[in-house]
């Protein structure tokens, strides 16, 4: 058997190391993409309706018809940023703007109007809202102004944010928490506001 020279052994070890490093990098990238997709699914599904949520739409709605999933509802302005609102919390709606929970009332109506957005995009600055700040909705039914009353951080499985607030007209904004940190985090940042 031919004896290998020390240089050949070093080259062989370095080659094997480079191959293993490449496989590890590919795994990390694939795993990161999988985690990002899982986060998007969790953000969409975490606040699905439960028995105590706003289960009925206002019977005396000021809107001619309740929007279908994907429909454009209007715009929302907060912290001098204007964003589009779409009906539903599916991946498509949240990719385009703010999603409105289809089991909650529409902006301006008496009960809990619940909206969600990604912390990396439309709700990137949600944590900068302070008590007294105003959030304005412009829809086909008119212009509605809400004033921030409180904020809190809850676990992802805490669904109290979507409960009915009837007869008060309130707004609840939801996003993942913490902000500006990659990956999935099991907390949600909640902003509550009252119609003024």
How far apart are alpha carbons 68 and 48 in whole angstroms?
16
Alpha-carbon gap, residue 25 to 18, rounded angstroms: 10
C-alpha angle with apex 154: 149 to 160, nearest 5 degrees? 70
pLDDT at 25: 57
CA gap 115, 118 in Å, rounded: 11
**Residue 27 included in any domain:** no
Percent of the chain with pLDDT over 90: 55
- pLDDT tens, position by position, 20-67: 666 765 656 555 544 544 454 444 444 444 334 444 444 567 888 889
5-14, 64-73, 182-191: least confident range: 5-14
Averaged confidence pLDDT in the chain: 82
The C-alpha atoms of residue 66 and residue 57 are separated, in whole angstroms, by: 8
Q: What is the per-residue pLDDT across 86-130, written as a single tens digit (0 to 9) for each? A: 999 899 999 999 999 999 999 999 999 999 999 989 999 999 999
Cα 132 to Cα 106, 121, 135, 146, 185, distances in angstroms: 22, 23, 10, 9, 28
Q: Does a structural domain hold residue 107?
A: yes
CATH number at residue 161: 2.40.260.10
pLDDT in tens, 140-158: 999 999 999 999 999 988 9
Span 172-190, average pLDDT: 88
Number of domains in the chain: 1
| Band of pLDDT at residue 8, cut at 50, 70 and 90 | confident
Assigned domain for 171 exists? yes
Helices (H), the chain: 6-45, 91-96
Residue 32 placed within a domain: no
């Amino acid at each position: 058997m031919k004896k290998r020279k020390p240089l050949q052994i070093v080259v062989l070890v370095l080659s094997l190391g480079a191959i293993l490093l490449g496989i590890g990098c590919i795994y990390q990238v694939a795993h990161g993409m999988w985690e990002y997709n899982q986060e998007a699914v969790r953000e969409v599904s975490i606040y699905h309706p439960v028995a105590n949520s706003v289960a009925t739409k206002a019977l005396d709605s000021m809107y001619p018809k309740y929007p279908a999933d994907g429909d454009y509802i209007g715009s929302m302005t907060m912290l001098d940023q204007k964003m589009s609102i779409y009906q539903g919390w599916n991946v498509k709606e949240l990719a385009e703007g703010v999603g409105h929970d289809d089991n909650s009332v529409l902006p301006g109506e008496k009960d809990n109007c619940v909206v969600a957005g990604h912390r990396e995009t439309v709700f990137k600055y949600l944590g900068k809202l302070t008590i007294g700040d105003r959030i304005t909705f412009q829809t086909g039914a008119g212009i509605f102004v809400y004033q921030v009353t409180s904020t809190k951080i809850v676990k992802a499985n805490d669904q109290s944010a979507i409960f009915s607030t009837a007869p008060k007209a309130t707004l609840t904004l939801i996003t993942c928490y913490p902000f500006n940190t990659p990956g999935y985090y099991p907390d949600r940042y909640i902003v509550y506001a009252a119609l003024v």
